Amino acid sequence: MDTEESNELVYHYTSLDAFISIVNSRTFRFGDARTMNDYTEIEHNINLLLNLEKQKPELMEKLNISNEGFNKGIENIQFFKKYIENHYIHIMSFSNNPDTLSQWRGYADSGKGICFGMNLSALRHCCLNSIYRIAGNCIYIQEQLNKEAQNLLKLASTFDSNDCEFEARSNFLDDFIAFITTGKNEAFIDEGEVRLVSFIEKLPPPQDVKFINSNGFIKSYLEVSFPINIIDTIILGPCCKFTTEDPVFNDMLDNLFFNKKLYELGVDTNPYKPKILSSKATFR
């Protein structure tokens, strides 16, 4: 399920204020996976795996799994369900689509915001370490989700979670997290979402996980640094009140993308400015 190395761009839609904050700080904010716009998805995907037990006779034959192996697979899924409850899962969302009206409306201040494109391969290398995983492209079609769930059960039937090599557990954990964080309701299919996922143990409390009040709800988040030159393209929303030629906007970009202090520290090694485009959407 992992996204392959690629020169393709992925896109993040956001408000102008958030864009300025992201570029100024050179950080992304990963949000709590359990408070995404589809608040049921993690639980739904785990239940999809557990409900495979109801199809035991046909899946044993279809997947060529013994009775013992099938039971072991369900036990392993239950074990890892419990295991992840003691971890933070945070997600940063991108889209494969650079100029989609529903994205402008939903995530970019009703079209007055910004969409910026980043090279996915560069993103993988700069953001990922031992606690970060790319879950890849979201899956929206139920038939495909069912197939992925069955493949995961097949893998879970091959080892004992209480007595197995670290590599086998780690590989299954990666696939398990990828599955529960990429399965989405088909109603969201036009988003073409690509996700970066962070997985961090809760105890001892990790200092890089922070908390925010969001409309009366407490949400955790994680900030991840990135080099500014992986932003390839900026697209102005269809309702932006300025154009790509606006001198003040361009002065702002010059200021944001070349930070003298960071340059002197060797963080931003070259003066840099991405390509600037405008949305082709006719919306107001």
Average pLDDT (230-239) is 95
Task: Write out pLDDT tens, residues 19-38.
Answer: 999 999 989 899 998 887 76
Which pLDDT score, from 0 to 100, does residue 120 have? 85
> 86, 197, 222, 87: which is closest to 132 by C-alpha?
197
Lowest mean pLDDT among 41-45, 185-189, 222-226, 266-270: 266-270
Grade residue 4 by pLDDT with cuts at 50, 70 and 90: very low
pLDDT above 60 for 75? yes
Q: Which of 137, 186, 178, 192 is nearest to 38 (CA)?
A: 186
Better pLDDT: 65 or 160: 65
pLDDT of residue 144: 95
Instruction: For the chain, give the percent of residues with pLDDT over 90.
Output: 57
Q: How confident is the model at residue 228 (pLDDT cuts 50, 70, 90)?
A: confident
Token couple for 39: 């608040």
- For residue 267, what pLDDT band results from cuts at 50, 70 and 90? low
Q: What is the mean pLDDT of the chain?
A: 87
Spatial contact of 178 and 197, defined as CB atoms under 8 Å apart: yes
Sequence-ordered alpha helix ranges (H) in 85-139: 101-107, 120-127
In this prediction, residues 161-184 reach a mean pLDDT of 81
With cut-offs at 50, 70 and 90, classify the pLDDT of residue 229.
Answer: confident
Position 181 scores a pLDDT of: 92
User: Inter-axis angle of helices 56-63 and 142-156, to 10 degrees?
Assistant: 80
Find the DSSP H helices in the chain.
16-25, 41-50, 56-63, 67-84, 101-107, 120-127, 142-156, 166-182, 247-257, 260-265
